Amino acid sequence: MTLFHPGNRELQDLFDTRRLADRLDDLLVTDTISASDAAFIGAADHFFLATVDPDGMPTVGYKGGAPGFVKVVDERTLAFPNYNGNGINMAIS
């Protein structure tokens, strides 16, 4: 698993920052939630949820509530309430 796609890698090579990017990747990218991650998440009063549609178009949405509104269920699972939004349905073609 890595944070970087080929376009990122091309720029890292161009600006000689690949070693720094690799170090950050080694330190920060994981497929599990650690105890310190869980504490950070549990104290948060908001986060941004990003998704990508089948055509690669991203959408980012704000999610917020009182600290603790996001629960760490286990080392791979988060749970949070899904409130009705502002009624805007986005369709971009």
3-state SS track over the chain: CCCCCHHHHHHHHHCCCHHHHHHHHHHHCCCCCCHHHHHHHHHCCEEEEEEECCCCCEEEEEEECCCCCCEEEECCEEECCCCCCCCCCCCCC
Q: How is the chain split into domains, by residue range? A: 1-30, 33-82
Tell me the C-alpha distance between 62 and 72, whole Å: 18
Segment 34-55 mean pLDDT: 95
pTM: 0.70
- Kindly report, residue by residue over 55-80, the tens digit of the pLDDT: 989 999 899 999 999 999 999 999 99
> How confident is the model at residue 92, as a pLDDT?
54
At residue 82, the pLDDT reads: 83
